[in-house]
Structures are given as C-alpha cells and as structure tokens.
Structure 1
C-alpha cells in the first residue's frame, strides 16, 4: 500500500509524517548507533540443503539455481534424520521411522547424485557422491558448508527395496521380524571413527565387502578432494550427527520410539551421546585441526531439558542415567535458581562434559553448540508473528505446554531459549559459539511467514548466534523473510554486518533491528516489523553522530511475496521520523545523511 505523500508536513515535535492514519496504533522504535555494537555473523543466513520434502533433486531443490542464488545465502547444512544413516562408501541411507525403516537412495538422489546403479552390486553410487554434489553447489553459491557426520553406530549396507509399501506411515515399521529385509541385522555396518593402522592407509575408494565404515576415511576423502578447512574450497564445519534425543526413546503416544530404533536398538543414554560426540570430535580434529565441530544438534527444548524429546501430556521421560546428570551444578550452577536455564539441564551437562574432554585432550573439541528449534506455538498466523520472541523475550510467554504452569518446565515464564543457552555456555564452556542448525516457523504461503522469518534473522544477529540454517521450503514468504535482509533491492544488497542498539516500545506490536557497515559507516539500515493485522505508525528516533536526511524504503506485505520499493523520505529532521507501516509488514529502511 502506497503511503500518502506528506513530505511537506512536519509534526510539532519535528517528526516527519509518512501517511499516518489518525486511528492507527503506534509503536516507538529507538536506535542508538553507538551502543550494543557487535558483529553479525553472516552464517545466520543459511538453510538446510535438500530438505524441502518435495523430492526435487540437486539444483531443482528450492526452485532451482537462480532461486537459490536470489536468497544470497552464506551457509548451507547437509543434515537431518537420514544423514544419521548415510553410508558415504556407496550412497545408501536409511529413513528410520520417517519412512518404514527403509534403506534407500534418498539422500544421494535428492542431493543431486542421480539414481542408484542397478548393475554394480553394492556400488550404487561412487564414494561420497551426495557429499560432492552438496559441496560443489556450496562452492558455486559461495557458501559455508556444514556437513553432518554419523555417530549413532550403524549404517545400512545395501538397498533391499527401493519402494516400500505405499501404506507405510512415518511411525510404522515396514518389517519387524528377522529375514531379508531393510532391518535385518546382517545388513548393517559398524561405524569406526579411526581406521586401524594394521588395515593400511586411508582409501578414497574403500572396499564394500567388509563390515565397517571408517569415518577418518570419509574425512580423508573430502580433504583429498577439496583441501582442509583452511583452504578456500575446504569444508569448514562438521556436525556430530543429528538429534540424538530422538534416536531411540520411550514410546510416545503414537507408539513412536524414536527416529532410528533399528539402527540404534538400545534406549539412548546421556553417557553414550557424550562419549560418541567426544570420540567423533576427536577424529575430526585429528584429521583437520582447524575444522569447526558442532554438537549435539538436539531436536528442541525437551531434548535440552533431559535428552529424551518425549512428553506424554502430563510428564516428561528421561534416559536411564538421567539421575547422574540431573544434579548440581547442572541444574542451577549451584545458585538455587531453578529457572536460571529454564530447566535446560542436558545442555549444561553436555557443555561441561565437552569442556572436560577438551581439557584432557589439550584442544577444543566443541566449537559450536548446536540445537534445533521448531516452535510449539506457531501453527496459527496470530501465534506465528509472535513465535520468534520465545528465543529471547522474557516478557513473552508462548501459549504452549512448555510454559504451562505445573508441567515442570518454565512454569509460566518466557522460554528465552537463546539467552538461556548463552548463559549456559558462559557458565559451563565459555567461548563456545551457538548455532540453530534447524528451525522453521511455517507460513510459506502467508505473509506471517515473512514476518516470523525476518524476526528470527534479526534476533539471530542481535543475539550473536553464529550460524543458523532454515529447514524446509525457502520459498514463498519465507524467501521474502530472507531477501528483506539479503537481497532487498534485487541487486544482492544486504543488511550490514555491525548490529547496533534497536528497541521497540511494544514487542507484541512490532520489532526493530538496526545495523551499520564498517565500509559505509554513514549509512544506517533499519528493519522494522509490524506484527499487527492493521496499519501501524512507527515513530523512529535515532541517536547518531550525524543527522540523517533521506531514507529509501523497501517492504513486503499483503498477499504478494515480492519485496517492493515503498515511498521514501527526503526531509528527515533531527533524526526523527514517523512512517505508516502497512498491516502485517516488514520494512527495510536505508538512511543517509
């Protein structure tokens, strides 16, 4: 909606009015460019490759190469449930309970490696074909690659049935009895992190006839092809598997017992997750000491709470060894404050264990603490526009079972998952970075998706998150949420790299983020969000050494995903102005003296 032309009208307080309705609600946005200055990690502008669920392969995933390039991404992750079982030697992966516990070619095919060979025996694909396809595209897109490595313990050997029964549901087993099937124990290979010296040197074309897959051999394959992480083409980061809190746990209300109960037959314990993470991180650092390690990739709040991500509606359930870890200092850092971490005790125990192992190894084994965030209160448009506030805002109590009083989690308090985890890092393993390697607020087909996505990116930058990779369709209004930061004018122009203080007077109505660039310190970028379904007046007041005179404005609102130029400002006075923000909108202001 085009604001009225009011460039000649000045309010008594010197505010420049841009199409203000007398009945519109208002929110004040204050920006101070000298306060809270911190670098924004470009890696927060990322997504998970091949996670759109449409079976589009390679470049066609997420709408094709041009669509991907238009997002101006800075990082990509190849990870997810099926990557827990990806056998790099021949490209087979197992879908676990996501799809019939079927061993298949899903990862390789969707990654762009083509269809599996039906004439080469166990050699369905060349070694590492999916990894090569993924990283080659990252190099083309000039993005950081984060690659998930397997740690759970077993990998599939072959493909028995390319097409499991059509009646299969994600929580049903395809075949649960012994026999020539995808869950026959003879068809699983054992992961070994470090190949015994007695077996000879590491090979880039490993044998398919033994019972083992060596992860140092996988790393060697990648290093031989691309160089180590310090080279321009090398893979920079490795994640220590995926969602161990869901590998195998107490059966939930739908009789699901985890994502990989056949691959990992015993119930998951904290000690085993920690041991496997330490062992895999040690192998990564031995092979490439400068590569960054990410872990534990917990699936969400309940996993951070007590590892098992299950709750039956009245209580949570914990692994067998939980009593060993549900103790001080992990509960409250011996402060007695039960809500110091809002119950995320597993995070504390994990950080402490990785710190202790690093001290013993005389090298940092964990560079980045990673977790996943799928908000429990974002299914309606009303909730979605507020949902990202659970990452930081103490005043926002999301309407979910996590915050419900009496359930034993936050008991009516705001979740504050990012700020609480930052506190945990400071207390238990200082200088560890923070990453959200999967997240999704929904709303691809609704403008609220753009609001939630933009709000999340703003929070990631403001809160100092190191890397974030969206999981799902980075298209529609979700793409708009990316582009308002990374390609707002269609020429790859981006929100700059130095975050500055930006505050909204009413977080429920709106949000604001601001940044400047070291290369152009006289220009200020502001991204402002109107969460309301009605127009809102944004009253902006800026503290800056130099007065701004003009502003160009871009925005997204309504039913079109396009980011379009809005009416600009040409006579700003005393670094104050007002602007009519359309209903349910995100605006990007570029201010100049």
Structure 2
C-alpha cells in the first residue's frame, strides 16, 4: 500500500473507535454439489454506453497503463495535499511523521508533476493531477534536506519517530499521549495560494499543451485534462494537523474549491476540475470541523450543519455553493472504501468472514435495499446517491466519479472476484469515471481482473462498450455483466463465481441475440488468466461450469446465417 494513505484512519473519526463489524456467521455451502444458477441476458434491454474512464488507476506505471489499457492515471493521496511543484517535494503528514522530503523520481509511489504526466501519456492514458488547497506545501533544507514538522530536538521526546529515515522526525505526540499543539508551521512547510497553483498549471501547459488536445475518451494527447481539488479535505485536521489542526469549515472548502478552480481554468480554460474528493461516508455528510467536534460532543448538534449548511448534508451543500458560483466543478467526485475489514492495513487476517463480507459489500455501490452492516449502518447505494445529488443540487448530467476505492484482497482470488464485480457494477450503473487506489503489479489477481475487462488476449480485446441487461438471482454468490462490442458485434459476458469453495453450474438464457453460435471463453482462476476451449451455445442457452472464486469472460458470436439481433 502506498504510504501516502493509511485508510484505517477512516475508522477513527468520532470518539470511540469505529470498528468494522464482522461478516455474518454464514459460510458457503461446502457440499460437492455445484450451485445451480439461472442467468438471463437481454441484448435489447438496458442499453447505455459504458464510460471507458471507469477503468482508471492511481499511480500506474507506464507498463501497467499499457498492459491494462488504463484510460486514467491519478496522482493523489495525502502527499498531494502538500506537494510543492517548484522544488519537487512532498509531505504525507501523519502517514509519515509529518516529514517534508524531496520526491524520489525512481519511487513508483512518488509520482508527481511533469514526470507523472510524461509517464502517463507514454502509457496511453490521461493524467489526473491533484491541486493542493491546504494553504501550505512542503519545503526542504538548503541542500534539499528532509525537514520535520515535529522535530524531537525542538519539541522534545515523542513516543514514535522515523527510525528508518529522518530520526529527528517525531509523530507529533507528547509523552502521555496528547498531540503536540502550537508547533511552528514554518518548520517544514511554506505558504501556498491559488496564484502559485495557477503558475503550476501554466507551466504544465507550456510543457504539454492545453487540455483541449485531449479527449473525453481518456486517450493520451494534449495536456493535463483533469485537476482534482486536493485530497479528502475533511480529514486535514487528522492527516495534516501540523499545518491545519482545526477541521476545515464547510465554507472554507466551498470557497477554496471556487478559488483554485478559477486559478486552474485561468491557466487552461479547457481543464476539467474534479471535486470534492471526500474520503467516505462520514465525510459526505459532515465537514471536517463537525467531524472533529463530534469526537467529544457527537453529531447531534454539529455546528457547521446548524450554522453554515442550514441543515443540508455537507457535500450536497457544497454543490449548491458551487452552482451559485457558476460552474467551477466539472466532475463530482468522492472516495469510498468498504468498512467491514475488506480493505485493511497489512497484518489483518483475511478471514472467511472478511471474504464473505467482501462478496456482499459491493452492494454498497448500487443496491437501495442493502443496509451496510458496519458502523455506517445505513443504505449507501453510492452511485445512485451521487447521481441524485449532482442532478438535484448541481447541474443535471454532471459526470460523477469515484477517484479512490479499494476492496482489498490484492493477492487473493477473493479480491479478484470483488474487483471484477466492481468494474461490472461501474459499467452497469453508469458511473462516469473511476480510479482504483493502490499499487498494481502483474502478479496480483486483482491486476488480472482488470486485464480480463481491458486486454484479455494481450492484443487489446476488451469488454464491450454498450451495457445490456444481465440478471443473476443472488449477486453475493454469482454475478453477471454483459455488453455489446461495436467492433465485431459480439456480446461480451462476464460471470463471477464469488463462492469460496463451491462450483456453480450456470444456465445462461440469451434474448434478442443469435440463438446459436460459438462462445470464445477466457477465465481467471487460481491467479491465472487463460483461454479455454471455445464453447458452443444453442437454442438461446449457454451452459457453463464455473470454478469457485473465478471470473469467466464469454465472447459470443452468432453462427453463420444466425446473425445477432441489434
């Protein structure tokens, strides 16, 4: 996991630890009998375009971008809030001892500035760069030395410090456990403002051209198209408390997004502004100030909710303010991580309970009848919620994006089945843009789940771009997604057997498509992506046996004289 972000902080926001609940004590059936599954696919129903931008990543290398044909590459995370473009330095705040240090151009996780733009474009993708709004950015010593916001020499002993790097950098906690307050922000940071960030964008335009040279399909060309407005600003008081110890008020974020968006567009009028980049459920409804207040007082009388947003939840209120200011934001973006232990720091056991929760919790993205059983304790249905908020409080049809998400299990097939499920949901539900958080490499099952959708044969063959209806009776065990491919009029069908230890016998009924033909078959199982022998289907039915924890892609083409119905 890149050290820019430690998402476990998301579970410690309102006093008592917000611990994720365990999954229900149910298990997959373990009998030797395969689960019978009846799937229906209708090529004439539910048709809508799938945005190619949903297959994006964060911090992808050129090789990864090329192999996965990833359309977007985001440079974000906690370090981005304090990145100083003039000296190529960053500060990850609490994630790494509040140190300001020079960026290492050889570190895969330290991708910023023009270097990031160049490697992204070389990979055929479009970059998303993060514009700091924190008000302060990293500074270095005279010889580019690392600086510490909580120097042990200056502020005294601290219970933890950087034993692997800058030993003087403490964790900002005094003996006894209380945070150090009143530190000098000038120790390791320097002031920043919209004018400085405007100069940064102007410099990128000089090097790479303007955003008008790119296109909405996400292919390379032209300059930087997307600029994200900082990173999870309602957590500044936790992550960057060395420079912003008080949680940001709703008004501060509303006004800063307008100011920095105008600065970006003054340098590049065609640039697309992405905001508010908030962290998760609590951050959708309450400002950073209210979240900080809630640690001691709860949320019943949250000050910003009462005095600044007039009772509206935080993010919808932000949208109303931006609408009143014109049209400063072009993409409405949020972050989301499941809270049941699916995505956890290293060392947390990936138990069967977590695996089963991972199978179910993708419902948080879409299902209006699924109540999240963790501390969230509410229906999330994130994509419909975002669409409703954009259409109600901003401009109808505004693109919506999830620029950070991760369902965990990177090295597990259970993680791969969840990732395949998520990508299918994004396309079916009409999400416009997404970038998965976390480093990907070709050895990971989740990497191969991406490849199944984007480049399954290594020659650029991909899941279709027109979504059609595919129904499975219980998406917690077996899910299905279908799309038509314009290039060859094939139907592409992904079927995910999420079950941990039981095969599935699938009977797939095809409507408004060729009644018989050949199904080219690709499968991800046991962390191997391979082509299987072609399958034949007839009488409008395709039958297949699906191994436990597998993802299967069928590419259906009608037999000669039995052309698909369009």
What TM-score do you get using the length of structure 2 for normalisation? 0.79
What CA distance in whole angstroms lies between the structure 1 residues aligned with 2:469 and 2:72? 25
SS at match of 1:230: helix
Equivalents in 1 of 2:380, 2:296: separation in Å? Answer: 18
Does residue 1:323 correspond to 2:306, yes or no? yes
Q: 1:285 aligns with which of 262, 265, 268?
A: 265
Q: Show the counterpart of 1:583.
A: 548
**Could you tell me whether the CA contact under 8 Å between 1:527 and 1:588 is conserved in 2?**
yes
State the shift of 1:326 in Å: 5.3
Q: Residue in 2 aligned with 1:259? A: 239
Structure 2 spans left out of the alignment, 5+ residues: 1-30, 149-160, 214-220, 343-353, 559-566
8 Å CA contact retained: 2:136, 2:191 = yes
Q: What corresponds to 1:144 in structure 2?
A: 126
Following TM superposition, by how much is the alpha carbon of 1:108 offset from its aligned partner in structure 2, in angstroms?
5.2
Distance 1:549 1:353, change over 3 A: same
SS in 1 for 2:397: coil
1:72–1:492 contact (8 Å) kept in structure 2 = yes
User: Mapping of 1:461-500 within 5 angstroms?
Assistant: 461-475=427-441, 476-500=444-468
Q: Which residue of 1 aligns with 2:90?
A: 93
Residue among 391, 397, 402 paired with 2:365:
391
1:162 is displaced (CA, Å) by 6.5
Residue 25 of structure 1, CA deviation: 1.4
1:78 is matched with which residue: 69, 75, 78?
A: 75
Mind listing any 5+ residue stretches in structure 1 that lack a counterpart?
1-20, 51-58, 60-64, 114-128, 195-213, 249-257, 331-344, 359-363, 404-409
Decide which moves more: 22-31 or 308-317: 308-317
Q: Secondary structure at the match of 1:427?
A: helix
Which residue matches 2:48?
38
Distance (whole Å) between structure 2 residues aligned to residue 32 and residue 427 of structure 1: 31
Give the C-alpha shift of residue 378 in structure 1: 4.5
* Structure 1 residues 441 and 494, CA gap change in structure 2 (3 angstroms): same
Q: What per-residue deviation string (whole Å, max 9, x for no partner) do you get for residues 7-27 of structure 1? A: xxxxxxxxxxxxxx9932122
Q: Provide the C-alpha distance between the structure 2 equivalents of 1:237 and 1:530, rounded to a whole number of angstroms.
A: 36
* Per-residue deviation, 1:529: 0.8
Match of 1:135, SS? helix
> What is residue 173 of structure 1 aligned with on the other side?
172
How many residue pairs get matched?
Answer: 482
Could you tell me how far apart the structure 1 residues matched to 2:485 and 2:169 are?
A: 47
How far 1:170 sits from its partner (Å)? 11
Q: Indicate the SS of the match to 2:542.
A: strand
**Which is worse superposed, 544-553 or 215-224?**
544-553
Distance 1:177 1:509, change over 3 A: closer
Comparing 561-570 with 104-113, greater Cα deviation is found at 104-113
CA distance in 2 between partners of 1:145 and 1:512 (Å): 31
Deviates more, 1:418-427 or 1:156-165: 156-165
2:407 is equivalent to residue 418 of structure 1: no
CA distance in 2 between partners of 1:22 and 1:134 (Å)? 50
Q: Which residue of 2 aligns with 1:120?
A: none
Residues 325, 346 of structure 1: 8 Å contact kept: no
Whether 1:224 aligns to 2:189 is: no
Change (3 A) 1:315 1:95: same
Compute the displacement of 1:261 (Å).
Answer: 1.0
Q: Please give the secondary structure, in 2, of the residue aligned with 1:437.
A: strand
Q: Distance in 2 between matches of 1:473 and 1:226?
A: 26
Distance in 2 (CA, whole Å) between partners of 1:227 and 1:579 is: 50
For residues 89-118 of structure 1, give each alpha carbon's deviation from its aligned partner in whole angstroms, at most 9, with x where no partner exists.
0112112111111111247563588xxxxx
Q: Does 2:271 align with 1:271?
A: no
Query: Does 2:234 match 1:245?
Result: yes
Q: Distance in 1 between matches of 2:171 and 2:102?
A: 20
* Residues 84, 152 of structure 1: 8 Å contact kept: yes
Q: Does residue 11 of structure 2 align to residue 27 of structure 1?
A: no
Task: Tell which deviates more after alignment, 162-171 or 130-139.
Answer: 162-171
**Aligned-residue CA RMSD (Å):** 2.8
Residue 539 of structure 1 pairs with residue 504 of structure 2 = no
User: Match of 1:290, SS?
Assistant: coil
Do the aligned partners of 2:418 and 2:498 also contact (CA within 8 Å) in 1? Answer: no
**Which whole-Å CA distance do the structure 1 matches of 2:544 and 2:297 have between them?**
47
| Preserved CA contact (<8 Å) 1:83 1:149 | yes
Distance (whole Å) between structure 2 residues aligned to residue 499 and residue 36 of structure 1? 7
Q: Judge which range, 421-430 or 222-231, deviates more.
A: 421-430
Structure 1 residues 178 and 425: alpha-carbon distance in aligned structure 2, compared to 1, 3 A threshold: closer
Equivalents in 2 of 1:103, 1:388: separation in Å? 37
CA distance in 2, matches of 1:171, 1:298: 27
The SS at the match of 1:546 is coil
- How far apart, CA to CA, are the structure 2 residues paired with 1:542 and 1:576? 6
Give, in whole Å, the separation in 2 of the partners of 1:169 and 1:305.
Answer: 38
TM-score of the pair, normalised by structure 1: 0.76
Change (3 A) 1:454 1:545: closer
Match in the other structure for 2:497: 530
2 CA distance for matches of 1:385 and 1:565? 25
| Aligned 1:505-516 pairs, distance under 5 A | 505-516=473-484
Quote how far apart the aligned CAs of 1:178 are.
9.8
SS in 2 for 1:563: strand
Contact 2:477 2:498 in 1 (8 A): yes
Deviation readout 1:402-431 (Å, 9 max, x if unpaired): 12xxxxxx2xxx321111111111111122
Distance 1:548 1:288, change over 3 A: farther
Q: Partner of 1:365 in structure 2? A: 328
Q: Give the aligned partner of residue 236 of structure 1.
A: 225
